[in-house]
Amino acid sequence: MKSLYASVICLVCFSVGCGVLSSGPSKTLTTFSKCLEEGKIDDAAKLFSTRVISGQGLGNLKSIVATGAPQIKAKGGISSQNIQKEDIIGDVAEVTLEVKYINGETEVTTYKLIKENDEWKIDGVIDNRPWINR
């Protein structure tokens, strides 16, 4: 029994040391989607970088973010989220998130995130539509 206990402690320490249990940029995005789905606009807005908040203005940003909640509701809600790609270099990350909705629709979006005060914040959206990126 002591051996099992020691193994569990080692596994937890290894996981924490490697960042497996810490929240990263992907967690910020899945949290953002869930906040939108639940209508928690203030919480969703807090997940943006200070650059975005100061550039848009907090009230304007909340208004923009608030448009996402009814769109998610119209699709029946979120059925699943899948991180397709996560690239991190220092305090900057690009994460591609696939969101599947209950009505069968799927959206894939790539986000730019930056680390501010040890927290990953959304700093921009990279448009994945091929006709836009030409």
- Cα within 13 Å of Cα(95), Cβ side: 24
Instruction: Compare 23 and 88 and report the one with higher pLDDT.
Output: 88
Quote the pLDDT of residue 126: 85
Give the chain's mean pLDDT.
Answer: 81
pLDDT value of residue 128 = 62
Report d(CA 48, CA 86) in Å as an integer.
18
- Provide DSSP, 33-56: HHHHHTT-HHHHHTTB-HHHHHHH
pLDDT of residue 71 exceeding 50, the answer is yes
- Identify the structural domains of the chain with CATH numbers, from first to last: 24-126 (3.10.450.50)
pTM: 0.76
How do residues 11-61 score in pLDDT, each as one tens digit?
333 333 333 334 799 999 999 999 999 999 999 999 999 999 999 999 999
Coil, strand or helix: which one is 128?
coil
d(CA 89, CA 101) in angstroms, rounded, equals: 31
| Average confidence (pLDDT) over 77-83 | 95
Residue with token string 């790609």: 85
The confidence score (pLDDT) of residue 16 equals 33
Q: What confidence score (pLDDT) does residue 92 get? A: 96
- Please give the radius of gyration of the chain, using alpha carbons only, rounded to the nearest integer: 17
Cβ neighbours of 25 (radius 10 Å):
24
